[in-house]
Homo-oligomer: A and B are copies of this chain.
């Protein structure tokens, strides 16, 4: 019953999830990309996700509409101001960022779990990273391990069908520069990806939000030019 060559990939359209998808592809999986449309300001990510799913040859790309703004509590879905700063170090790592969305990865992984069961695969890939985003509790290895334990008790396929569910996090302990090096080695075109929390009206990255700072720093350290900020 278990379709070993299938994998569900959480694909936001950003740098991390795209690299994760390229890793799953390199491991020979048939790719089932899962993207959420959750009232985020950066809906431009959705277009990026579509391009990437297509470019990496996803077997299926499911876009699930989720209205997380109904629950509130985050700058990404509510009406708070996204924090901007001129240098990447200013204020970094002090506390969990206000762009935190309550239980976001738990909700996303729950859908991935449902789809994995329908697809009869135990493989779920998610591009969480505990290094650069250490402020998010749901990006840490201990959280992922606990989700995996829960997931194996939650579904018919695992409790009856002998399926073992694995949450694969190939980036979890990598620096941003290491992630970029890995992706470049796999031939990822980072020009397709979108990272910015608060893009300019013409769709380009703002270059000043936390996410842009981390990305630029990563490219600098990896020794590559970031196509998001190069002249096109």
Chain A positions near chain B (C-beta within 8 angstroms) = 62, 64-68, 70-73, 95-96, 100-107, 110-111, 113-115, 117-118, 137-138, 140, 142-143, 146-147, 149-151, 153-156, 158-160
Least CB distance, A148 to chain B, in whole angstroms:
9
The answer, among B70, B102, B105, B118, for a CB contact under 8 Å with A72, is: B118
* A150/B150 contact (C-beta < 8 A), A62-B71, A111-B71, A114-B103 known: yes
List chain B residues, Cβ under 8 A from A102.
Answer: 113-115, 117-118, 155-156
Instruction: Give how many copies assemble into the complex.
Output: 2
Some 22 contacts from A to B, beta carbons below 8 A apart, are A62-B71, A64-B67, A64-B70, A65-B67, A71-B118, A96-B156, A96-B160, A101-B114, A102-B114, A102-B118, A102-B156, A103-B111, A105-B154, A106-B150, A107-B107, A137-B156, A140-B153, A142-B153, A143-B154, A146-B146, A146-B154, A147-B150
CA distance A67 to B65 in the complex (A): 7
Question: Contact between A154 and B106 (Cβ–Cβ < 8 Å)?
Answer: yes
List chain B residues, Cβ under 8 A from A156.
Answer: 96, 100, 102, 137
For the A-B complex with A72-B118, A103-B117, A146-B154 known, give 16 more contacts whose Cβ atoms are closer than 8 Å.
Answer: A66-B66, A68-B114, A71-B115, A71-B118, A73-B117, A103-B110, A103-B113, A107-B110, A107-B111, A107-B114, A138-B153, A142-B153, A143-B153, A146-B150, A147-B150, A150-B150
List chain B residues, Cβ under 8 A from A104.
Answer: 114
Chain B minimum-CB-distance residue to A157: B102
List chain B residues, Cβ under 8 A from A142.
Answer: 153
List chain B residues, Cβ under 8 A from A150.
Answer: 106, 143, 146-147, 149-150
Kindly list the 7 A-B residue pairs having the minimum CB-CB distance in the complex, ordered from nearest. Answer: A103-B114, A146-B150, A73-B118, A102-B117, A102-B114, A137-B159, A143-B153
Task: Identify the interface centre among A107, A114, A149: most chain B CB within 10 Å of its CB.
Answer: A114
